Chains A and B, each alone.
Chain A
């Protein structure tokens, strides 16, 4: 058996609506082998983002984890204290949020916010940090890094913000990257660059990636295996090419026939 970087078992996440409570993630099990890229696809509202946010324990207050465990490097993240979680988040697990404005504080410059992640998690000195941030900004294909460094989030276009967030998420060379729709605002040429960057990090730094996306083309290009979700449940998992070639589940089939 290939060792797993993360192993989710029977995860249940519920939300309270009035008197009732509803499971939006319903007994989900999903694991990611070390050094592999797994695509999580499925219906809008099926619970993909909720799974991603459960791993880094950043769920909205209304959502509650009601059961299951999330093993990372052998330990259950669900038992970790807030401060221990803060150490892991950003350092060992990077996150690209579905909505970039969520990740950045509007009143600080983008470069400084990426820099702050390095200050918190590494021992690099001031100059090295700045150099590293500029290098990261360049890596995600943003032009004129020193100018982008000084920009506030609202001064960047949607796709530029998305790339700045990717730069922030990979800054500390994490072991696992959770990327939630990381290329949804990127044109195909820039998207191709990001895909190459992910492949590169996967090979050179052994980065494992959980890629949440609606773009099945990107999945078939990038992911070793795939998990398909609908209504809070994973209905099919398998090697990407096998699932794409002969889907076993009805929903997977419908999804594939639409693209």
Chain B
């Protein structure tokens, strides 16, 4: 097991009203369990606002969960020493949903790429090998070499996204979390990135947690799919089973909308309560019941 997410919960509280007299709570991640095996890519799909990015940020320890634990290579990274966390950090990278805010506007692309090596300084101590590595990743995502002096805001949306992907790859991580990482790329470059990810998986045993609204791309990259709804994982199965034999009403709705471009009005009622657990319906096809 590369990553084991256990009973993760995270709620956000918000004060509303003119004097902050009301308090409301969003259960962004509600008791999520998920295991990622080495070499087994998982697609995380679900409604906008269901908690995908929050879960990813918790895995990377960018956000503290209210409860639960996260094991990376068997080591609990929610507790314990900074050395353990450092090891995990070096081997886990993330491409953020919004590259506009994740790339520091004050840094040049060269600074940003160099910063990607911080946790691997030992292995990458020579500037010229680092430079070579940077150009290698640029070529892989179809970026020109001559952009090092420029700043993040001087690029198109898709170019920024590719810079973020290139940066996440420099250290050859073990686990890469991609949050809507190909959403601003034209289909030709999208295909190139998808092929690149497949190739890296083969060559370096890289594993992906792939968050995306694009079901076609998810189907191409992932062996397994987890469907999230209102903070909970409602269905988890092999990609084939999800597409051929969806069980949860929300999964069905999602697949229907993806072929018809029509919102399914008055669609199946989705029942939901705290007692529900993921149950194996056979062949490792899990459903929240």
A99-B100, A158-B98, A159-B49 known; A147+B24 contact, CB < 8 A: yes
Chain A residue at smallest Cβ distance from B28: A157
Give the distance in Å from the alpha carbon of A61 to the alpha carbon of B98 in the complex. Answer: 23
A216 located at the interface, meaning its Cβ lies under 8 Å from any Cβ of chain B in the complex: yes
Question: Are B157 and A191 within 8 A (Cβ)?
Answer: no
Question: Are A101 and B101 within 8 A (Cβ)?
Answer: yes
Binary flags per residue of B128-162, CB closer than 8 Å to A gives 1, else 0: 00000000000000000000000001111111001
Question: Are B189 and A188 within 8 A (Cβ)?
Answer: no
Chain B residues numbered 76-98 whose CB sits less than 8 Å from any CB in chain A = 97-98
Q: Number of B residues contacting the other chain (C-beta, 8 Å)?
A: 47
Give the distance in Å from the alpha carbon of A195 to the alpha carbon of B257 in the complex. Answer: 12
B11 located at the interface, meaning its Cβ lies under 8 Å from any Cβ of chain A in the complex: no
Question: Are B189 and A44 within 8 A (Cβ)?
Answer: yes
Tell me the smallest distance from the CB of A224 to a CB of chain B, in Å. 16
Tell me the smallest distance from the CB of B81 to a CB of chain A, in Å. 30
B67 located at the interface, meaning its Cβ lies under 8 Å from any Cβ of chain A in the complex: no
Question: Are A158 and B48 within 8 A (Cβ)?
Answer: yes
A128 located at the interface, meaning its Cβ lies under 8 Å from any Cβ of chain B in the complex: no
A44-B185, A101-B98, A159-B49 known; A60+B14 contact, CB < 8 A: no
Question: Are B100 and A186 within 8 A (Cβ)?
Answer: no
A155 interface neighbour in B12, B45, B155, B263, Cβ under 8 Å: B12
B215 located at the interface, meaning its Cβ lies under 8 Å from any Cβ of chain A in the complex: yes
Question: Are B157 and A259 within 8 A (Cβ)?
Answer: no
Find chain A residues with CB under 8 A from B125 CB.
none
Find chain A residues with CB under 8 A from B49 CB.
143, 156-157, 159-160
Binary flags per residue of A155-191, CB closer than 8 Å to B gives 1, else 0: 1111110110000000000000000110011111111
Find chain B residues with CB under 8 A from A62 CB.
154
Question: Are A258 and B24 within 8 A (Cβ)?
Answer: no
Chain A residue at smallest Cβ distance from B189: A44
A94 located at the interface, meaning its Cβ lies under 8 Å from any Cβ of chain B in the complex: no
A217 located at the interface, meaning its Cβ lies under 8 Å from any Cβ of chain B in the complex: yes
A116 located at the interface, meaning its Cβ lies under 8 Å from any Cβ of chain B in the complex: no
Question: Are B263 and A255 within 8 A (Cβ)?
Answer: no
A247 located at the interface, meaning its Cβ lies under 8 Å from any Cβ of chain B in the complex: no
B284 located at the interface, meaning its Cβ lies under 8 Å from any Cβ of chain A in the complex: no
Give the distance in Å from the alpha carbon of A16 to the alpha carbon of B100 in the complex. Answer: 22
Question: Are A187 and B261 within 8 A (Cβ)?
Answer: no
Chain B residues numbered 170-229 whose CB sits less than 8 Å from any CB in chain A = 179-180, 183-191, 213, 215
Tell me the smallest distance from the CB of A201 to a CB of chain B, in Å. 15
Tell me the smallest distance from the CB of A19 to a CB of chain B, in Å. 13
Find chain A residues with CB under 8 A from B185 CB.
44, 214
B261 interface neighbour in A41, A100, A163, A218, Cβ under 8 Å: A218
B168 located at the interface, meaning its Cβ lies under 8 Å from any Cβ of chain A in the complex: no
B213 interface neighbour in A160, A188, A195, Cβ under 8 Å: A188
Question: Are A147 and B14 within 8 A (Cβ)?
Answer: yes
Tell me the smallest distance from the CB of B193 to a CB of chain A, in Å. 10
A160-B48, A255-B186, A258-B188 known; A189+B157 contact, CB < 8 A: no
B253 located at the interface, meaning its Cβ lies under 8 Å from any Cβ of chain A in the complex: yes
Chain B residue at smallest Cβ distance from A152: B14
Question: Are A99 and B157 within 8 A (Cβ)?
Answer: yes
Question: Are A98 and B188 within 8 A (Cβ)?
Answer: no
A192 located at the interface, meaning its Cβ lies under 8 Å from any Cβ of chain B in the complex: yes
Find chain B residues with CB under 8 A from A44 CB.
156-159, 162, 184-186, 189
Question: Are B213 and A187 within 8 A (Cβ)?
Answer: yes
Question: Are A188 and B187 within 8 A (Cβ)?
Answer: no
A43 located at the interface, meaning its Cβ lies under 8 Å from any Cβ of chain B in the complex: yes
Question: Are A187 and B98 within 8 A (Cβ)?
Answer: no
Chain B residue at smallest Cβ distance from A196: B263
Give the distance in Å from the alpha carbon of A185 to the alpha carbon of B47 in the complex. Answer: 10
Find chain A residues with CB under 8 A from B246 CB.
none
Find chain A residues with CB under 8 A from B101 CB.
101
Chain A residues numbered 7-25 whose CB sits less than 8 Å from any CB in chain B = none
Chain B residue at smallest Cβ distance from A160: B49
B116 located at the interface, meaning its Cβ lies under 8 Å from any Cβ of chain A in the complex: no
Question: Are B184 and A184 within 8 A (Cβ)?
Answer: yes
Question: Are B184 and A181 within 8 A (Cβ)?
Answer: yes
Tell me the smallest distance from the CB of B198 to a CB of chain A, in Å. 15
Give the distance in Å from the alpha carbon of A129 to the alpha carbon of B266 in the complex. Answer: 30
Question: Are A188 and B53 within 8 A (Cβ)?
Answer: no
Give the distance in Å from the alpha carbon of A22 to the alpha carbon of B101 in the complex. Answer: 27
A43-B189, A189-B257, A258-B187 known; A49+B48 contact, CB < 8 A: no
Question: Are B261 and A98 within 8 A (Cβ)?
Answer: no
8 new A-B contacts at CB < 8 Å, known A147-B24, A151-B14, A158-B48: A44-B162, A45-B159, A48-B156, A99-B99, A185-B180, A190-B47, A255-B188, A258-B191
Residues of chain B touching chain A, judged by Cβ–Cβ distance below 8 Å, are 12, 14, 16, 24, 45-49, 52-54, 97-101, 153-159, 162, 179-180, 183-191, 213, 215, 253-254, 257-258, 260-264
Residues of chain A touching chain B, judged by Cβ–Cβ distance below 8 Å, are 41-46, 48-49, 60, 62, 98-102, 143, 146-147, 150-151, 155-160, 162-163, 180-181, 184-193, 195-196, 214, 216-218, 221, 254-255, 258-259
